[in-house]
Amino acid sequence: MNVPGPIPPHGGRLVSRFDSSLVDVLGRPRLAITPRQQADLDLIGVGAFSPLEGFMDKVTYDDVVEGMRLPSGLAWSIPITLAVSDEKARELTGADTVALTDEEDHFLGILELEEIFDIDLSREARMVFGTDEQEHPGVAALYAHGSKCLAGPVRVARRMPLDAASENYRLDPLAAREKFDSHGWRSVVGFQTRNPIHRAHEYITKVALETVEGLFIHPLVGETKSDDIPPDVRMRCYEVLIDGYYAKDRVQLGVLPAAMRYAGPREAILHAIMRQNYGCTHFIVGRDHAGVGNYYGTYDAQHIFEGISIPDELGITPMMFEHSFWCTRTGGMATSKTSPSGPDERIFLSGTKVREMLEAGEAPPAEFTRPEVAKILIEAAAASGSG
């Protein structure tokens, strides 16, 4: 079957592991999985993690951790595993199938258990995140899940729930590809974000859109850090921005039900792979993609793509952008490539400074964000403070 969209999925086939006929059989061993693991299960089910059909085995895990490749040679940067405690692994030893549930015991699907293997958590942390410090949120999540991994194909019976605002924009890879075809787009650039779009983001998405036919604004709405802005607030920001400041016939908004790993360079590759599966031909990689704290160099997330062969190992084309700013000399957004200004003529605002302004009820300057977006963020900050 020909898959719609302007580019083949990663590996050539869009995986689907959903089975509406699945039933919860009494007596089958059960495993309650975390929200982060539910997100991975959901992404396997809809094909966002194509060509994966389940959670990785030991051979695949080692290839990914050590070489950022699947055994087939395709690029893959972060292991997708189902980690459990030693005690739970002992309980499940010898089982053929395992019922996967959420933490309230709602049936989600089935794991066809083929292997249980050990992992070195500290080694994975250093290889994937570049640190084994538990202060790193991705490392903390890795350590919290255990050092035994269950491997095998999955079948998924139930979607991961989203908040109401995000649910309105849920587009699975097949549906996104059909949307792109209906728009007549032969080239699409994907934009990953976990924050409202400020002026720098608006600038780079519009520059990218000048070279392709469509823009896929694709915010991540799974688990993030506690101080990140909630998805329902972000969705309102995206809506007012698209309504007032983009050519609406050139933009498609959807959501990615993935958890943030904050793995910097390696996560940039995974984000690109997923956007290829959603049908994007290009992907924006900013200066600190999926970064956190000071764990990664300014352009590490761009440099990592230099070691990947395109299109042999990865079909989607990364689009690299420098740090953009408001240039007071030219009166607009720019980068060091396009602006003749000096340091004192460039306006940057940190996320920390913006949060402080919002909490104080102050609107960030127009050089940082559009007023309609600022209004939503101020109101949300005030409501959160009053709660």
DSSP string, 198-240: -HHHHHHHHHHHTTSSEEEEEEB-S---TTSPPHHHHHHHHHH
Arch. (CATH architecture) of 164-386: 3-Layer(aba) Sandwich (3.40)
Alpha-carbon distance of 311 to 322, in angstroms, equals 23
The domains of the chain are located at 30-156, 164-386
Question: Which residue in 170, 195, 250, 355 is the catalytic one?
Answer: 195
Q: Is 364 helix (H, G, I), strand (E, B) or coil?
A: coil
Res 195: pLDDT: 87
- Tell me the pLDDT tens digit for each residue of 173-205: 999 999 999 999 999 999 999 889 999 999 999
**Which pLDDT band holds residue 357 (cuts at 50, 70, 90)?**
confident
Span 103-130, average pLDDT: 97
Question: Is 2 an active-site residue?
Answer: no
Alpha-carbon distance of 63 to 82, in angstroms, equals 17
pTM of the model: 0.95
Q: DSSP class of residue 126?
A: I
- Tell me the pLDDT tens digit for each residue of 52-75: 999 999 999 999 999 999 999 999
CA dihedral of 182, 183, 189, 190, whole degrees rounded to 10: -60
Question: Is 195 an active-site residue?
Answer: yes
- pLDDT value at 89 more than 80: yes
- Asked whether the beta carbons of 75 and 308 are under 8 A apart, the reply is yes
Strand partners, 333: 326
Question: Which residue in 194, 261, 287, 370 is the catalytic one?
Answer: 194
Q: Which candidate, 134, 24, 152, 17, places its Cα nearest to that of 82?
A: 152
- Asked whether the beta carbons of 283 and 271 are under 8 A apart, the reply is yes
Least confident span in 85-89, 184-188, 320-324, 350-354: 350-354
Q: What is the mean pLDDT of the chain?
A: 94
Residues 6+ apart with CB under 8 A from 37: 82, 145
Residue 120, classified by CB atoms within 10 Å of its CB into exposed (0-12), middle (13-18) or buried (19+), is exposed
Out of 3.90.1170.30, 3.90.79.10, 3.50.40.10, 3.10.400.10, which CATH number does the structure's domain 30-156 have? 3.10.400.10
